[in-house]
Amino acid sequence: MIQKTFPTHLINNSNQYLALSSLGKNTRGSHVVNILAISAILVTGIVFLLGQSFAQTPSAPDQPVGVTATAISPTSISIGWSPPQNNGGSPITGYKIDYRVVPNTSYTTLATLNNVTTYTHINLVTGKTYIYRVSAINVIGTGSPSPEVLATPTSSSAPPKNIAPNPPQNLVASAYSSTQINLSWGAPQSNGGPVVSGYKIDFSLDSANFTNLVANTGSSFTAYSHTGLQVGHTYTYRVFAINSIGTGNSSNTATTTLTQVLTVPGSPTLSATAASATSVSLSWTAPANDGGSAITGYKIEYANATSPYKVLVSNTGNSQTGYIHNGLVTGTVYSYRVTAINSIGAGNPSNVVTAQPQETTTPTITTAVAISPTSVSLSWIKPSQTYGQVVNGYRIDQVINGNFLSVDDTTSSVTKYTIPNLTTGKTYTFAVTAELSGGSQTNPSPLVSVTPTSTSSAPDSTNQPPPTSTPEQNLALPDPPTGINATLISQNTVLLSWVAPSNNGKLPVTGFKIESKTGADGTWSIITSNTGVQMSFIKSGLQADMIYYYRISSVSSVGTSQPSSQVSVSTQSGSSQPPVQSTPAQHSQGMIPVLNTTSTISYDITGGQIIGIGINPGTYSLNINLKSDTAGTLSIQIPRDMIDAKKLDGTDDVYIVTNDKNVAQFSETKTISYRTLVISFPANTVHMSVYGTTIVPEFPIALIVFVLAFIPVIAFSKRIIKY
């Protein structure tokens, strides 16, 4: 019988845990120790469970943190804070500020704000002491107030100098895809003296505590892409500005929930070979990205030297990846391209291939597809020229290191074969040889390779379908842009900036329409019907003593969206005005999609306008089309996992940058994830390229290609790049 017990103790020895419990004396006076052996695995599991975040019942948020009060003039005090670590399971919607004046003990509500983290209390009495507290608000209610802070404005009070920067402004989080959220924000109202050198970014998953995402971006870019995310989770962000003094308070929080974003599929990879003197065999691999919706068919187009592209099949109506084009002219060169179709619509065309109908003396494999995790199906067509001999059957070979190992011999004219009992995830290479009468045989067919995976399944068992009409696309207008900002940069010039919508209506946004009016009762007029893909715009020629209102709409090939919420600027005398400046050079910044990828790139350009940007795997380069009437600079933040420059020992190599084929000068800063280039360009530059030594295409397993013979491509003697 145990008379007394003590708390359990854990003793760890060589990854074995002993739990000592029920330590005490029995009725005979002997010590009794119950020893429970617990494996390290069990303890690890318990610790893991304790470390997980589980969905919480929404409640009012915790206190804001880092609350400060600073007298910035003899009659005003600046109050700042950071969002609470725990938002109560519901996004922060605003803040309440209470204050009292010493010696009063009761508080008065000073202001109830939106989701901002600074406030200036004005018209105060010099020499009086003011005490403040701040409470956070969500849809559940108002949380408990922060600890008190106080400040006393004096006759010598002035804004502090050489301090950490103010919080970034107007943080916006927008879902760009099912796995990516784009962040954008405005620079701090004051950098505290030293220039802002970077930003710290924190995030919270499903209302758990904040975790650091980026300790320091290392640049003044006011945008960031958070990738590798999961559908169904809610992500909340906050951003801090950094200068040489330190890190300031955080911005407002921005929250978004990722949902499955459906897009058109990526591009197939196409090949074509002659099938006979009058036919061509096409085969392709399905796109790596189906856009989140199963591929339902393919559009096939062809052309020859004397005609533009014509539709051969508008929609195959199935997921088969092969087609035979009959009735062609012997010796004529034909070009082909194939486009994948899903429920959203048709994607971008494949690579273009050419083929010339001619007699074939070997079988031609038309499809090689994994139909299960452990089996592959081959289909082929017989040789068109056997010189009078009859095809009696076929031999199917597996090819390993150039050696042909027989899988099976058939004695029929059947041109299809299934190979079972393969290893999931292993790549196999096959060839087919025709067995002819008289005991002879043809040469082997061209080789094909295929990899059965855990998700492999049989495609639609349909032969060549007749042409059908293109499926109707359920297209819609894009949403309006978000995060609209209007800032006076001189007494008669305004800078407009915005964030592209996360819902583009299933077709790419091709530009933005900007409208303005003077006064609240004015009539809207169009400034520009389409800005292009840039996400900022400078409007000069404003008149004094006026209030200007602006709204922006998204433009796609379907039409123009509803306008955004309106913003305004005032040129009235007595309003806060920046110093008069000369008319600034054309400037824009933001994030721009990279053609034929699901990625975006941050940029900042002065003296020009980016028209488009894309990756060229053939030259291992990032290619930029721009319009520039004056000389300027382009700052571009290149993700290392998109294009990088590496030496064979794995260390960083230099990029090669060209402006209209001339080698360009640039400066560079590096982080673990990004390389930021600042490139100077002369007036009238229209094309810019950044050449690396590696490119990572967007496939499930990154394929890194090292360029061993890249440097000779550049004719340095002429300072000209040939492409």
> Burial code of 651-660, b = ≥16 C-beta within 10 A, e = fewer?
eeeebbbbbe
Sheet with 269-276, edge to edge strand ranges: 269-276, 279-285, 322-325
What is the tens place of the pLDDT at every residue in 550-591? Answer: 999 988 777 888 899 898 888 876 544 444 344 455 777 766
| pLDDT for the residue 46 | 38
What the block records as the tokens of 8 is 């359990």
Extract the tokens encoding 21.
């419990």
Query: Which regions of the chain carry the CATH code 2.60.40.10?
Result: 65-151, 169-257, 269-450, 482-584
Give the pLDDT confidence of 49-69 residue by residue, as tens digits: 334 444 457 899 999 998 999
* Integer Cα distance of 312 and 678 in angstroms: 47
- The edge-to-edge listing of strands for the beta sheet with 108-113 is 108-113, 94-101, 130-137, 149-151
CATH code reported for the domain at 169-257: 2.60.40.10
Per CATH, the architecture of 269-450 is what? Sandwich (2.60)
CB atoms within 10 A of CB 36: 12
Q: Which CATH class is domain 65-151?
A: mainly beta
Give the tens place of pLDDT for each residue, 458-512: 765 444 433 333 333 345 678 888 878 888 777 788 888 777 776 766 566 778 8
pLDDT-derived band at 167, boundaries 50, 70, 90: very high
Ramachandran bin of 15, using left for φ above 0, alpha for ψ from -120 to 50, beta for the remaining angles: left
- Cα three-residue angle 637-176-456, rounded to 5 degrees: 105
Tokens of 103: 């010696």
Lowest mean pLDDT among 145-149, 192-196, 719-723: 719-723
Three-state secondary structure call for residue 698: coil
Q: How far apart (Å, rounded) are the C-alpha atoms in residues 437 and 179? A: 58
Task: Give CATH 2.60.220 domain extents, the chain.
Answer: 588-721
Task: Provide the 3-class DSSP secondary structure of residue 41.
Answer: helix
Length of the chain as a residue count:
723
Closest by Cα among 314, 420, 317, 440 to 375:
420
Class (C level, CATH) for 588-721? mainly beta
Q: 482-584 has which fold?
A: Immunoglobulin-like (2.60.40)
Residue 403 has pLDDT above 60, yes or no: yes
Q: Which of 176, 102, 79 is nearest to 594 (CA)?
A: 176
Element (H, E) at 2: none
Q: Can you give the pLDDT at residue 536?
A: 75
CA 721 – CA 712 distance, rounded (Å): 10
Please choose, from the candidates 508, 669, 502, 497, the residue with its C-alpha nearest in 3D space to the C-alpha of residue 589: 497
